[in-house]
Amino acid sequence: MNGRSQEWDRSGDGAPVSAPAIAAERHVTDLRRAFDASFAAPPRDAERSGELVLAIQAGGQGYAIRLSDIDGVHECRKVVPLPEAPPGLLGLTGIRGRLFAVHALGALLGLPTWNEKPRWLLIAGGDEPIAIGVASIEACLEVSPADLVPVDSAKEGEAHVREFVTLAGQARGVLVLESLVARALKRAGERREGAS
């Protein structure tokens, strides 16, 4: 990030505030993201209107993640440990010439058996992306919006689940990646307690 604002003037009423450079940069970023995402996303028919979810395993538990919540899926290659890392921050990895901090999903969810070797990395976090390590990806499935059942009251320890979905007869929590990324940043000491 170069610190520039993501907003630009659209008025076109003669005020030369519009910054073509910023717009172009944004366009390039969008294209790059779309390009990356095209590899991550399975082909889908135009008529389909359901939501694509990934069925994953972390810390010995099954969860679901909306495909639209992640910016990419990559095979986990070498992860270099960092000194003074909080539990769950597995280290650094390189993906297409970019550095990512790898956090174990199980640890972010507070599961006791999070210390498994991640096989896949999910990229999430928008402008402050991190790689979230998961033990396995079981399937990528399309579910109809009606299949996503909101959770009434989030229990302690399930604060990152706001919906449930039943996949192959098994109910799984649909993870809210935004809050998990915020938790990862907080654990790394980059956000204060209570910030989301």
Partner 1 sequence: MNELEDYFRDEANEIVEGLTRDLLALEKNPADSAILARCMRLAHTLKGAARVVRQTRIGEMAHTIEDALAPFRDTDETITSDYVSDLLRILERIREETMKLGATIAPGPASDGKGKGTTKPAPPPIDDRLETVRVDIADMDALLEGLSEASIQIGPLNGGLAALQHALRLAVLLREELELGQTMGERGRSPRLAAQFAEITQSLVHAERDINASLGRIERELGEVQSRAATLRLLPVGAILGTLELTARDTAEALGKNVSFSARGGEVRLEGHVLSAVRDALLHVIRNAVDHGIETFEERLAWGKPEAGRIHLDIERRGRMVAFRCSDDGRGIDVAAVRKAAVHRGLASSEEELDEEATLALVFRSGLTTAAEVTEISGRGVGLDVVREVASRLRGSVRLSSKLGEGTTIEIEVPVSLSSIPVLSVMFGGSTALVPLDAVRGTRRLTASERLQGPDGERILFGDRAVPFTSLGAVLASEGERHDLPEACSAVIVQSGEAWIALGVDRLLGTMDVVLRPLPPGAGAPAAVAGAAFDAQGDPLLVLDPPALARTGARRGAAMETRREAPKRLPILVIDDSLTTRMLEQSILEAAGYEVDLSASAEEGLRKAKARKYGLFIVDVEMPGMDGFEFTATTRADPALRDVPVIIVTSLATSKDREKGAAAGASAYIVKGEFDQKHFVRKVAELLGAAS
Amino acid symbol at 190: E
Spatial CA neighbour of 109 closest among 30, 176, 51: 176
Tally DSSP H helices, then E strands, for the chain. Answer: 3, 11
Member of 77, 145, 152, 169 binding partner 1 (CB under 8 A): 77
Among 6, 23, 24, 196, binds partner 1 (CB under 8 A): 24
Q: Site for partner 1 (CB under 8 A): which residue of 118, 125, 133, 173?
A: 125
153 part of the interface to partner 1, by CB under 8 A: no
80-93 as b/e: b if 16+ CB within 10 A: eeeeeeeebbbbbb
- The closest alpha carbon to 58, from 178, 146, 196, 160, belongs to 160
75 binds partner 1 (CB under 8 A): no
Binding residues for partner 1, rule: CB under 8 A, are 2-3, 5, 7, 15-17, 19, 21, 24-25, 28-29, 32, 77-78, 80-87, 89, 92-94, 96-101, 103, 110-113, 115, 125, 128-130, 156-157, 181, 184-185, 188-190
